[in-house]
Each structure stands twice: as C-alpha cells, then as structure tokens.
Structure 1
Amino acid sequence: MGSSSGDNPQIPHRGDADRLRPTNTGRYLDILAFAGRGLWTLTLAGIRPFAFWGAVLLPLVYLPSLYGVGTGQDTALFVELAVWHVASIVLGHGHTPFWSR
C-alpha cells in the first residue's frame, strides 16, 4: 500500500529562466481596452441626450452674438459657440428621442 514516485506527479521547479520570462502584456492591454470601451459607452450614454439637445438649441444662442448683443468679445463668443455646437453634433449624433422609438 505504499505509494511510488509514479503516483505523484513532479511539481515543476521554478528556475531563474521562468522568473525572467516577460509577462503577457497583450492580455492586459485587451482587458484595459475592454474596460475603456465600457467606460466610454456608459459615459456616452449619459452625455448623448444632452449633447443632442444642445445641438438643437445652440443655434438660437447664435442670433444675439451675431447682432452684437453683449460684451465687446462677440467674435470670440461666436467662435466658442460654434465649437460647442460642433462638439454637441458629434457627441449627440446617435441619440433617438423617446417619441421616435
């Protein structure tokens, strides 16, 4: 009833060569990319309705800046509104309002 050395497999010995082997960074990069895509999806889902409605309503703010209402920096204000409008269009592009579903 004794056990022989053939019954128990040998535990591999970890040598110096195993410690120097590089890790599989591709696996970690895949996990990081997957987490980043998930975070971007959640963030975009929260921002998209506001960006959509911003793209719809921001042109109404152009009118006072075009007619010179406000401070003396109307050109800078107009350019800033145009940049915000383009960003709203890009981010709100995929939004579907609830009455269109």
Structure 2
Amino acid sequence: MTVGSSSSDNPPLPHQSDTDRLRPTDTGRYLDTLVFAVRGLWTVTLVGVRPFAFWGAVLLPLLYLPSLYGVGIGQDTALFLELVAWHVASIVLGHGHTPFWSR
C-alpha cells in the first residue's frame, strides 16, 4: 500500500448543481420579462392615449382667453394654472401622434 490517501478516504467535494448555477440568470431573466411587459403595457396605453392628448394639445389653447378673462379672482387663477398643466401634459403625451390624413 502507498502512504497517501486514496480517493475513497476523502469525501466528495461539494459542487454546484445546475439549479444553483442558473439562479442568478433566472432572476435576470425574470427582470427582463418584467421590463418587457411594462414596456408593452406602456406602449399599448400610449397608443390609446396619444390621439386624445394630441387633440387636447390642439384645442386646449382655445380655453385660455375665457379663463384669462376672469384671472385674479383666486379660483380662476387656479383654474388657469390647471389648464396650463393639462396643456403641457397633452403636448408631451401627444407629441408622436400622426393624424390619419398625413400618413
């Protein structure tokens, strides 16, 4: 017999199983799927909202003059500022819309 240890004397070394190795990539894959789903939901929502936002951006300035007529009476000032905020939001959301006659 030789003076050394044989392979039967030592316990097997721990090794990573396939499931242990795949765990970090599974989390990344789930995050990628979540990001893909959120982008898809945002795109579908934006496609439905964009035409209304575009036309809101076109038509909301027509309400500026009547609301400016009463500015300075407290509540009308708040109404005017809300109108401006809605107009800015409509411009941002409706920016990419192309009307059907210009396609």
TM-score by length of 2: 0.73
1:62 match? 64
* Whole-angstrom distance in 2 between the partners of 1:30 and 1:72: 49
Counterpart selection for 1:84 from 83, 86, 89: 86
* Whole-angstrom distance in 2 between the partners of 1:26 and 1:79: 44
* Whole-angstrom distance in 1 between the partners of 2:31 and 2:74: 50
2:76 match? 74
2:101 match? 99
Code of the aligned partner of 2:51: P
Instruction: Report % sequence identity.
Output: 78
Alpha-carbon offset, residue 76 of structure 1: 0.3
Bigger-Rg structure (1/2)? 2
Aligned residues: 85
Q: Determine helix, strand or coil for the equivalent of 2:77.
A: helix
Query: Which stretches of structure 1, 4 residues or longer, exceed 2 Å deviation after superposition?
Result: 20-24
Q: Determine helix, strand or coil for the equivalent of 1:38.
A: helix
TM-score by length of 1: 0.75
Code of the aligned partner of 1:98: F
1:43 match? 45
* Whole-angstrom distance in 2 between the partners of 1:82 and 1:68: 15
* Whole-angstrom distance in 2 between the partners of 1:45 and 1:75: 33
Code of the aligned partner of 2:64: Y
Unaligned runs of 5+ in 2: 1-15
1:10 match? none
Q: Show CA shifts across 1:38-58 (max 9, x none).
A: 111110000000000000000
Unaligned runs of 5+ in 1: 1-16
